[in-house]
Amino acid sequence: MPISLKDEAVIVGIGQTDFTKNSGRSELQLAAECVKAAIADAGLEPADVDGMTTFTLDSNDEIEVARSVGCGDLSFYSRIPYGGGAAVGIVHQAAMAVATGAANYVVGYRALNGRSGQRYSQGVAGDIVTSDLVHWGWYMPFGLLTPTSWVAMFTQRYMHVTGCKSTDLAEVSIATREHAVNNPNAFFHGRPLSLEDHQTARMICSPLRLYDCCQETDGGCAFVVTTRERAADLAQPGAVIRGIAQGSADDQEQMTSFYRPEIERLPEMELVARQVYAMSGLGPEEIDAAIIYDAFSSIVLFQLEAFGFCGIGEGKDFVQDGALGREGRLPTNTHGGQLSEAYIHGINGVNEGVRLIRGSSVNQPAKNDHVLVTAGVGVPTSAMILGQL
């Protein structure tokens, strides 16, 4: 009988740095700070940690972070590729490690100087030295160099097929901004967004305008995962992982899966959705709140469809009338998301998912039995459903 990860692992600590546009410190320091904070939040000591996991894109080696924080011996370390799709992927790594006994307490982290250092918005030019340069070579000569340009191609097709308008995308941006307005850690704290602001903002890559695009942020976020048994003795109410999965679908490319018969949906996220619902035994009607990866406004609509909150092509209708607000059908990205809080590659979303389960979000909805957290879009991708321990 294969091991199921259902209810085997619990997120017991979360930590983060401040989110800024210029941290003034190294990425390693940001990593050390958020890891230390997550360990302290769990009521643990650094020496308790024996596993580490992060993104292949992270510049901070596990052993460097362990030395900096004073974690001592490590018996597990791993990395997950493909940008934001790794955010729940590394939770998955941690959950498997603790469930199998490879480690007892695994820290996941992501720390970057995303604004003052290497900026994703500046494109993939020149300094790529990885083996996927050939892949980018199909796009670079034509000017498709930025995440916005890649996602714009999907979004244009989606709008053509579904009738979705730019004003529908604005519903997503405005809803998440309303959450950020209440969040002192958010870049857009206290600064609401009007429909007019959204519609008159400059075009980045048609049809995506400025406020359809996420932040660029300096900062770090980390979390600690352990087993149910150990979690019961720790400082915080645990967020238990009811279902968790990764997914890369047929004909997958990194950000440019342009060659499928249809590109106006996310088969990789549909694959993840099937798995997390199957593992947890839950369905969309039992999800009380969600963290939906929002590097761009349009991909929230794609994912609402992939996770069955509405039919395919109906995301634009679902988000009307405040559905993503605290009182709405599906309170979503209650921290302000990556559009309005910070872009920490989805790990700030993981941490907000934990806060929603704890009941400590600044925009806490009344019901919080189950929270969906998704990560990544247009790349091999991941998601989980969190519940009460």
Partner 1 sequence: MSELEKKKTEFEARIREFVGLPEGPPYLCPDAVNEAMIRHWCDAMGDQNPAYLDADAAAETVHGGLVAPPTMLQSWEMRGYPMHDATRLLPQNNQRKLHAAFDEAGYTGVVATDTEQEYARYLRPGDRITAETTIESISEEKATALGIGYFIVTRSVFSDEQGEEVGNLSFRVLKFKPAQEAQAAQESAAAPAKPTRIRSPYGHDNGWWWEACQEGRLLIQKCSGCGELRHPPRPMCGSCQSTEWDSIEASGRGSVYSFTVLHYPPIPGYDFPCPVGLIDLEEGTRICANIAGVEPEDIHIGMKVECMFDDVDEGLKLPFFYMVE
Concatenated DSSP letters of 299-350? HHHHHHHHTTSS-TT-HHHHTGGGTTSTTSSS-B-TT-HHHHT--STTHHHH
Closest by CA position to 241, among listed 254, 225, 218, 220: 225
Instruction: State how far the alpha carbon of 215 is from the alpha carbons of 265, 343, 383, in Å.
Output: 24, 5, 21
- Please give the angle made by the CA atoms of 96, 102 and 106, to the nearest 5 degrees: 70
Q: Given 82, 120, 277, 343, which residue is catalytic?
A: 343
CB 122 to partner 1: min, Å: 7
Q: Is 149 in the site for partner 1 (CB under 8 A)?
A: yes
Query: How many H helices and E strands in the chain?
Result: 13, 11
Cα distance between residue 360 and residue 379, in whole Å = 31
Strands (E), 180-232: 203-205, 208-209, 218-227
Q: How far apart are CA 307 and CA 300, in angstroms?
A: 11
3-state secondary structure of 116: coil
Specify the stretch interacting with partner 1 by CB under 8 A; choose among 37-45, 134-142, 303-311, 326-334.
Answer: 134-142
Q: Tokens representing 265?
A: 């949906």
* Angle subtended at Cα 132 by Cα 130 and Cα 138, rounded to the nearest 5 degrees: 135
Contact between 263 and partner 1 per CB under 8 A = yes
Q: Contact region for partner 1 (CB under 8 A) — 93-101, 153-161, 169-177, 335-343?
A: 153-161
Q: Which is nearer to partner 1, 298 or 348 (CB)?
A: 298
Q: With binding defined as CB under 8 A, does residue 368 bind partner 1? A: no
Question: Closest CB to partner 1 among 138 and 311?
Answer: 138
CB-based contact 92:105 (threshold 8 Å): no
Applying CB under 8 A, the site for partner 1 has a residue count of: 38
140 binds partner 1 (CB under 8 A): yes
142 binds partner 1, rule: CB under 8 A: yes
Does the annotation count 82 as an active-site position? no
Binding to partner 1 by residue 259, rule CB under 8 A?
Answer: yes
End-to-end CA gap in the chain: 24
Q: In this chain, which stretch among 119-127, 186-194, 241-249, 287-295 interacts with partner 1, using CB under 8 A?
A: 119-127
Clarify whether 293 is annotated catalytic.
yes
In the bound state with partner 1, the residue whose beta carbon lies nearer, of 207 and 243, is 207
- Contact status: 313 vs partner 1 (CB under 8 A): no
CB of 262 to partner 1, least distance (A): 10
Region from 86-94, 197-205, 285-293, 331-339 binding partner 1, contact rule CB under 8 A: 197-205
Q: Please, which residue, 3 or 134, has the CB nearer to partner 1?
A: 134
Cis amide prior to 380 (ω within 30 degrees):
no
One symbol per residue from 154 to 183: x for binding partner 1 (CB under 8 A), - otherwise; what is it? x-xx--x-----------------------
Residues that bind partner 1 (CB under 8 A): 121-123, 125-126, 133-146, 149, 152-154, 156-157, 160, 202-208, 251, 256, 258-259, 263
The residues annotated as belonging to the active site are 293, 343
